[in-house]
Structure 1
C-alpha cells in the first residue's frame, strides 16, 4: 500500500517518464546482450577457423617431410604470440612444440581418429598467465608414423572485445537514457497542457455561473474528446440548474397561491367578522389546505423519484391488478363508462409508486373525458405496458412532449388534473417509470371511440408462468 501511494503521488508525468525510461533501458539491455552475443559468436568462430588454419599448415608439412623436417621455429612460423602449436607422436608425447609451450606436457588428451577433428576450449598457463584457448586437434599420417597436430589460439581477444563493447554500450546508454527521459517528461507535459487548461477552466466555474466552457484542442484524439465531454457535462449541469431554478420558482408560486387565499380569508374574517363568519371561512381554509397537502405530497414524490439513493422495497407487481383496481375506483366515483382490458403483466418494482403512476393517468383521463375511459395492460416481447385513453379534447402535437415536464400548463380545456391538480401529475408518472427502467409517453393514435389523449407506461416485464399466461 505504501508503495502504491508513493507511486500515485509521483504524478502522471513522472510515472510515464519512469515507465518509458525503464522500457527503453530494458530494450537497450536486450539489444546490447544480443549484439555482444553475436559479436562473441562471430569472434569465436574466427578464432576456431584461425586455429584450424594454423593446424592445417603444420599438418601439410608433416604429411610431406614428417617430424624430422620440422623444427620449433617451423611450428611457430606464424609468429603469433596468441597462437601455439604442438605435435604429438602416436603415444601422445610432444615431438615438437611452439617455444612458448616447449616445457609443457601435452596441452590436450584428445586423440582424434582418421579424418576426425576435435575442437576444445582449455585453460593453459603460458608465461605464468592462465587463460582460455581454443584447441583444434587432428590426426596426420606422415613419415615417421601418425601424428596429432594440436593448434591452440587464445580466446582473450574475444573476451576483451566483448568487454570493451559492453562498456561502450553502457557509456552510450547512460546519456541516451537521460536525454530520452527528459524528452519524454517534456513531451508528456506538453501533451497534458490542454488538460491543465481544462482543469483551470473547470475550477473557475462557479455554482452561480455555468456559462464557461472548455476550449476544444485541435484534432480528434482523447484530449479533444475529453474537452467535448466536459463541455457536454457543463451543458447538462447548466440545464439541470436552470430546471431546478424554474422548479423552485414554480413551486413557490404554487404554494403562494393557496397561502395567499388562506391569508386573505383570515384577514377579512378578522377585520370584518360580520361579512365572513366561521361557516364561510372553514370551507375556504379546508379547500386551500387540501391543495397545499396535495402539492406537498407531489413535491415529495418527485423528490423521491429524483433521489438516486432512495431505494424503496421492490416486489413482483401485477399491473393488471392495479389496472382493475383503479378502474373500479373510478366507476364508484363517476358516471363515466370505464373499459378495462387487463392482460396479465408482471413487473418488478414498488407497488405503491406504480399504483400512483397509474392513478395519475386515470385521474387525468377522468378529468377531461366526455363519456368513456379505457384502461389496459398488455405485454409484448420483454416489455409490459399500461395504457390509458379518453374521448376528451386530447393534447396538441406541440405539447405532447412537454406535458411530462413539471408545472406545465396547457390551454384552458386541459389546464389541471383532477380536483384542480398541481401540474405535477404527468411529471410524477414519467419519474416513476424512469426509476423502474421504463418510460412514459403520449401515443399519437386516433380511435373512433377514444379520440382524446392516449398515454402509455412502458416497463421491463417479468416472465409469467405458463399456466398464468393461459388464464
Structure 2
C-alpha cells in the first residue's frame, strides 16, 4: 500500500489518505453510536421487564395468589413480553398464555426484596432470539413468590442493525463526495505549482530573466514562488559573474599568448630585428605570467568547489606571519614591522599560507618604505593584518578589490600589477575556512596611512601577544 501511494501523485495520495482517515473516523463514530444505542435500548428493555414484574409483585404482596389468573400476568398477546409466577417450591402457579404449560423459564432464585437480571433464549414459537429476564422475589400471603418478567431483545438487535445499515448507506456516499472534493481542492491548490513548474521548465540556461508569477495570498505556495524567483535571481547573478569571469580570464590569457605569438612572428619574419636572447626573454616572461595566471585560476576553482574539502589541522598563524616577514625582508629593502601574537586556527596550512602571502605581496607592491604584519586573537576570531604606507584604497573600492580581475589604477601603473586574482583568492580561502577578508578604514594610523587588510578566521584558543 505504501509503495502504491508513493508511486501515485500528490493529489491521489492526499485523496487516499483523506478517504482512509474519514473512513476510520466514520467507523469509530458509528461504532460508538451503535454501542450507545444498544446500551440505551438494552437498559429500556430491562426497565420495561422490571416494571411489568413489579406490578405483579405488588399484587402478590397484597393479596397473594387469591383470584390470580393467567389474564393477570398476560401481556398484550404477542411474544415480545411474557411473565411467569413461581411459588416457593419452584412450581408455576401463573404464566402468560404464550408459555402456558412450560416449566419455570429460569433457575434464578433471588432472595426476597432482591432481583436477578439475565439474558437467555426462551424458544417461544420456535424463535431462538434472546430475552431479558428480570426475576423478583416477594413475600405475600401464602409464602414467598418469584415473579419472572421476560422481554424480547429483538427490538434492540433490529434497531442496531438498521442504524448500522443507515450509517453505511450514508457513509459510502459521504466518503465518495469527500474524496472528490479533496481531489478537486488539492488540484486547485497545486495548479499554481504546476504553472510554476512549466515556467521553470521553459527557462533556458541562456536566458534566466523569466520569473514565475506570484500567486495571490501569502501561503506556502506564495512563499515557494518567492523562493523560486530568488533562486533564479541568484542563478542569473552567478551566470553573469561566470560570464564576466570567463571574459576576463580570456582577456588575461590572451595578452601573454598574443605577446608570445607576436614575438615569434616578428622573429620568424625579421630574424635580424630580434635576437635569440631577446626572444627567449620575452617568451620566458610571458610564459611565467601565463603560468601564474593559470595557477591562480586553479586555486580559485578549488575555493569555489564546495565538495573540495582539504584536510584541516591546527595552524599557527604567527608562524606564517614570521615566515612571510622573513621572505619579504630578503626580497626587498622595505622596513618590515612584525607583531606576531600567538593565534591558532583549524585549517589547511598550504591554503592559509597562500592567502597570507597574497596579502603580503599586495602590501609589498604598494608600500613606499614600510610594511607591517600582525597576528592576534580577539574573542572567538584569529586575525592577520597587513598594513602599508602606500597610496591606500579609496572607500568606494574597498569591497570591489576582492572581486576577480579587479585592479585599481594605481595597481595598473605598477610594474608588478599581478593577475588581479590575489585578493579574490584570499576571500575564497577565508570563506572556505569560515572566515572573511576585508579592507577596513585605518586612516587614523599615521605610520601606515595606506591600505589595511584584515583576514579573520575562527580561533581555537585565546593566547597572549608579543612584538618584535
TM-score (norm 1): 0.95
- Give me the whole-angstrom Cα distance separating, in 1, the residues matched to 2:11 and 2:189: 10
The alignment partner of 2:188 has SS state of helix
The alignment partner of 1:462 has SS state of coil
Distance 1:307 1:416, change over 3 A: farther
Pairing 1:268-307 to 2, within 5 Å after superposition = 268-307=266-305
Gaps of 5+ in 1: none
The alignment partner of 1:379 has SS state of strand
Pairing 1:77-92 to 2, within 5 Å after superposition = 77-92=75-90
- Give me the whole-angstrom Cα distance separating, in 1, the residues matched to 2:58 and 2:3: 75
Deviation at 1:416, TM superposition (A): 7.4
Deviation at 1:382, TM superposition (A): 2.3
Pairing 1:386-465 to 2, within 5 Å after superposition = 386-411=384-409, 413-415=410-412, 419-446=416-443, 447-463=445-461
Deviation at 1:5, TM superposition (A): 4.1
Deviation at 1:439, TM superposition (A): 1.2
Matched residue, 1:68:
66
Deviation at 1:99, TM superposition (A): 1.4
Gaps of 5+ in 2: none
- Give me the whole-angstrom Cα distance separating, in 1, the residues matched to 2:57 and 2:284: 131
Matched residue, 1:135:
133
Whether the 8 Å contact between 2:5 and 2:12 is mirrored in structure 1 is no
Whether the 8 Å contact between 1:409 and 1:416 is mirrored in structure 2 is no
The alignment partner of 1:85 has SS state of strand
Query: Which whole-Å deviations, capped at 9, do the CAs of 1:131-170 have from their partners, x for residues lacking one?
Result: 2111111111222211011111111100110011001111
Matched residue, 2:242:
244
Whether the 8 Å contact between 1:132 and 1:155 is mirrored in structure 2 is yes
- Give me the whole-angstrom Cα distance separating, in 2, the residues matched to 1:4 and 1:96: 67
Query: Which whole-Å deviations, capped at 9, do the CAs of 1:260-309 have from their partners, x for residues lacking one?
Result: 11222222222222221112222222211111111111111111111122
TM-score (norm 2): 0.96
- Give me the whole-angstrom Cα distance separating, in 2, the residues matched to 1:416 and 1:131: 113
Distance 1:147 1:5, change over 3 A: closer
The alignment partner of 2:122 has SS state of strand
Whether the 8 Å contact between 1:363 and 1:417 is mirrored in structure 2 is no
The alignment partner of 2:123 has SS state of strand
- Is 2:352 aligned against 1:354? yes
| Alignment size in residue pairs | 465
Matched residue, 1:33:
31
Whether the 8 Å contact between 2:75 and 2:82 is mirrored in structure 1 is no
Whether the 8 Å contact between 2:411 and 2:417 is mirrored in structure 1 is no
Query: Which whole-Å deviations, capped at 9, do the CAs of 1:216-253 have from their partners, x for residues lacking one?
Result: 00111111111011111110111111101100100111
Pairing 1:1-400 to 2, within 5 Å after superposition = 4-400=2-398
- Give me the whole-angstrom Cα distance separating, in 1, the residues matched to 2:274 and 2:285: 16
Distance 1:46 1:5, change over 3 A: closer
Whether the 8 Å contact between 2:75 and 2:81 is mirrored in structure 1 is no
Distance 1:418 1:318, change over 3 A: farther
The alignment partner of 2:131 has SS state of strand
Q: Relative to structure 2, which stretch is displaced further, 195-204 or 287-296? A: 287-296
Q: What is the RMSD computed on CA atoms of the aligned residues?
A: 1.7
- Give me the whole-angstrom Cα distance separating, in 2, the residues matched to 1:438 and 1:445: 20
- Give me the whole-angstrom Cα distance separating, in 2, the residues matched to 1:120 and 1:436: 83
Q: Relative to structure 2, which stretch is displaced further, 125-134 or 159-168? A: 125-134
Whether the 8 Å contact between 1:75 and 1:98 is mirrored in structure 2 is yes
- Give me the whole-angstrom Cα distance separating, in 2, the residues matched to 1:355 and 1:105: 111
Q: Relative to structure 2, which stretch is displaced further, 340-349 or 38-47? A: 340-349
Whether the 8 Å contact between 2:86 and 2:147 is mirrored in structure 1 is yes
